[in-house]
Amino acid sequence: MRSLSLGYFLSAVNALVFFFPTILFFPALVTYPASIVLRGWGWRSLRSRLGPVGLLYTAIWCLGVLTYLALTLSFLEMFRDGIWVALAAWAVYSILEASLYLRAAGKLRIRLLYASPINLAGVGTLGALIVMMWSQFRFPSEVRYGDLTPLFFGGAACLVASALITAVAALQIRAEKPTGERELESLLVTLPRSTPPQPPTRPTTRPKEALTARTSRTALIGLEVVSRGDMLVCPKCGASAPIGAESCPECGERFKKAASGLRCPVCEAPFSVAKPISAGHYVCGQCFSDIRVVSRAS
């Protein structure tokens, strides 16, 4: 997940503008939009694994662009109230982005991402301070704006920390690990041996047939699709491609196809890339179809 990681790294650089406004103002004009594009792109490539929440990548793109345009126009004094639009858009997409962090943390099992929503503490603090300054809010007592400096830097530090945490966590996002033959073996053991009771009228050759069938292990079980995945996910870079694609459109990695044996009924990936969810229930590691193992003897 290099694009996602790079996007958040740029976002961290960007958030440092609150600490070094004079040095980083102009770089931020480039790092901010680049980070929005990359973050949206990175989340987009994970969308098929995150369910409906995964579609929030579009919000990052749309509201990120809106934030950037509104801020730029406001600094150019072409749109004085742009700062309010930018603040609102920033707050909304930050909240949506935090729900992506939490969803990915649970779904992709990357615990570090549970720490990423501290960006909301930063957005809240900085947002409130900016609103107070721009609206020239006067404190009733002797509090001065200078006294709020620690709060300001604290909020900015939350943004930097969140972006760095997410950049590191994004590096841990990989395609599902292949399960290997071991799971298949244990599966064969746990499957109910539902050979129908032998009626006494059957000819005596029947037990011998059953025995030969069992010697070829895969002949006894089949795979049944519970729900079809609609995308192939590249095991190397995480990009998605339509079912039936030969290779990844991003990095060129060839998708796996098994010519024979147990394979995913949707994308034909060998069963070794499937990941167990519960006994007899698997998810294809390439197209994320839900697969149930059925015993053919039953």
Binding-site ranges for Zn ion (CB under 5 A): 234, 236-237, 239, 248, 250-251, 253, 264, 266-267, 269, 284, 286-287, 289
Q: Which is nearer to Zn ion, 54 or 82 (CB)?
A: 54
| Shortest reach from residue 106's CB to Zn ion, in Å | 22
| Shortest reach from residue 255's CB to Zn ion, in Å | 9
| Shortest reach from residue 272's CB to Zn ion, in Å | 12
Q: Which is nearer to Zn ion, 262 or 267 (CB)?
A: 267
Joined together, the tokens standing for residue 146 give 């200078």
Q: Which is nearer to Zn ion, 107 or 228 (CB)?
A: 228
Q: Which is nearer to Zn ion, 74 or 286 (CB)?
A: 286
Dihedral, 260, 229, 2, 23 alpha carbons, nearest 10: 170
Distances, alpha carbon 97 to alpha carbons 11, 125, 223, in Å: 13, 17, 37
CA distance 65 to 86: 9
Beta strands in the chain (DSSP E): 221-227, 232-233, 240-241, 275-278, 281-283, 290-295
Kind of pairing between the strands at 232-233 and 281-283 = unpaired
Token pair 């003897």: residue:
297
Q: Which is nearer to Zn ion, 166 or 272 (CB)?
A: 272
Closest CA to 271 of 210, 226, 224: 224
| Shortest reach from residue 258's CB to Zn ion, in Å | 10
CB 236 within 8 A of CB 255: no
| Shortest reach from residue 169's CB to Zn ion, in Å | 20
Element (H, E) at 294: strand 290-295
